[in-house]
Amino acid sequence: MSNTARIANVEAGHYRIPLARTLSDSTHGEIGSFELVTVRLWDDAGYDGVGYTYTVGYGGSAIRELIEREVAPLLKTLDSTRPEAVWQAMWWRLHYVGRGGIAGFATSAVDMALHDLSAKRAGQPLWRFLGGARDRVPAYAGGVDLEFTLDELLAEVREYRAEGFTAVKIKVGRDRLEEDVARVRAVRRELGWEFTLMADANMRWSTHAAMRAIQALRDQNLYWLEEPIAPDDEEGHRQLAALGVPIATGENLHTEAEFERMGRRGRVAVLQPDVTNVGGVTAWRKVAATAGARGVPVSSHGAHDVHAHLLGATPNAGFLEVHRFGLDAFLTHNLQLDAGAAVLPERPGTGLGFKWDVLADYQVDGVG
Ligand SMILES: [Mg+2]
């Protein structure tokens, strides 16, 4: 049997998934749906792999086009058993229009599919295939709740607690800081001082506004304050990091180099790469290793079904984010949670089984 296996076929899909409930944060306002872009590939040895990326509503068509028109023809010349070589080929093919952005989303989905295929070929779940650092990962419920009334917010955190979560994140970044402070205080009162509580500002503030917010929230024992400011200002992060509330960021950093600079210059406490936009499993693991060398834990953003595997393979793993953008209705298996931790599956690959017939109803047509 040959060691090589050419990528024989590649298919991309683009879907708009309605959310059961309108969500809200300080950057995107109200969010009623998200876009899912899938990649399925097959090699000539008969193995298949599935990957995906998602957007907060915009850009999915361009990502799908990039995969179909530019990436798929390249992939069909490459060996599926060499994901690193494929990653390099995609990176340099798209470099001039890439280094993150939409190219990063497209290559992420492909790289995820290739790792799914590789782990299936080995007959192992991805977390074991990548080294198997742990078989359970602590999880938190990531609320997307900025515009919820206080009653709705409290009802939701009670729901999370009832589901077994021992850690919860809520949104901040409302028009008046006093509102944020009141909401954090109310949630803290509801959950008690032992409960792990994070807050996420989705880049709403200037550095000065973030300083005021940290001052006002300092006595609430926040586990971290996420994305207080835009991700480009590493010096601003460094200033905030010195104020006594741990800072987390990463969902808007889309290359290894951006993460390396944020870790080195920004001195944040937690880095949060997202496998669906940082360049797939290949880049995610490099970001995690660099953070680990600095003694910084990595948590995840979104895509909890796949991130559970990656955190399971990472010695410096922090929390797995579990949020309501979940694909539960479209997957044959859902994330298993036990006492606030994700229990890693033994199905080969990522174990992502999409219900393609159910997804078909949400397909986005091309422009024509
Ligand atoms: Mg966030």
Which residue in 271, 241, 279, 200 sits closest to 27, CA to CA? 200
3-state SS record for 197-239: EEEECCCCCCHHHHHHHHHHHHHHCCCCEECCCCCCCHHHHHH
For CATH 3.30.390.10, list the domain ranges present in the chain: 7-123
Distance CA 336, CA 352 (A): 13
The mean per-residue pLDDT over the stretch 207-236 comes to: 98
Distance CA 35, CA 55 (A): 5
Sign of CA dihedral 230, 234, 239, 244: positive
How far does the centroid of ligand 1 lie from the alpha carbon of residue 27, in Å?
10
For 286-312, the DSSP string reads HHHHHHHHTT--B---S-HHHHHHHHH
156: how many CB neighbours lie within 10 A of its CB?
Answer: 20
How far does the centroid of ligand 1 lie from the alpha carbon of residue 70, in Å?
30
Is residue 367 within 8 Å of 61, Cβ to Cβ? yes
Q: What is the pLDDT of residue 24?
A: 86
The mean per-residue pLDDT over the stretch 167-177 comes to: 97
22 confidence band (pLDDT: 50, 70, 90) = confident
Q: What is the pLDDT of residue 196?
A: 98
The predicted model scores a pTM of 0.96
Is the per-residue pLDDT at 202 higher than 80?
yes
How far does the centroid of ligand 1 lie from the alpha carbon of residue 31, in Å?
14
The mean per-residue pLDDT over the stretch 276-285 comes to: 98
Distance CA 358, CA 116 (A): 21
The mean per-residue pLDDT over the stretch 226-231 comes to: 98
Catalytic positions, please? Answer: 171, 301
Q: What is the pLDDT of residue 21?
A: 84
How far does the centroid of ligand 1 lie from the alpha carbon of residue 249, in Å?
8
pLDDT in tens, 292-332: 999 999 999 999 999 999 999 999 999 999 987 778 899 99
User: Which residues, chain by chain, have CB under 5 Å from ion ligand 1?
Assistant: 200, 226
Is residue 52 within 8 Å of 37, Cβ to Cβ? yes
How far does the centroid of ligand 1 lie from the alpha carbon of residue 292, in Å?
21
How far does the centroid of ligand 1 lie from the alpha carbon of residue 293, in Å?
24
How far does the centroid of ligand 1 lie from the alpha carbon of residue 285, in Å?
20
Beta carbons within 8 Å of 192's beta carbon, 6+ residues apart: none
Burial of 94: CB neighbours in 10 Å, binned 0-12, 13-18, 19+: buried
How far does the centroid of ligand 1 lie from the alpha carbon of residue 325, in Å?
12
Which residue in 308, 304, 307, 306 sits closest to 324, CA to CA? 304
Which residue in 62, 40, 55 sits closest to 276, CA to CA? 55
The mean per-residue pLDDT over the stretch 2-13 comes to: 94
367 confidence band (pLDDT: 50, 70, 90) = low
For the chain, give the percent of residues with pLDDT over 90. Answer: 92
pLDDT in tens, 50-105: 999 999 999 999 999 999 999 999 999 999 999 999 999 999 999 999 999 999 99
How far does the centroid of ligand 1 lie from the alpha carbon of residue 55, in Å?
13
Q: Which fold has domain 128-343?
A: TIM Barrel (3.20.20)
Q: Which fold has domain 7-123?
A: Enolase-like; domain 1 (3.30.390)
How far does the centroid of ligand 1 lie from the alpha carbon of residue 120, in Å?
31
How far does the centroid of ligand 1 lie from the alpha carbon of residue 355, in Å?
28
Least confident of 15-24, 32-41, 158-167, 190-199: 15-24
How far does the centroid of ligand 1 lie from the alpha carbon of residue 201, in Å?
7
pLDDT in tens, 133-157: 999 999 999 998 999 999 999 999 9
Q: What is the pLDDT of residue 103?
A: 98
The H helix count followed by the E strand count for the chain is 13, 12
How far does the centroid of ligand 1 lie from the alpha carbon of residue 129, in Å?
28
Q: What is the pLDDT of residue 216?
A: 98
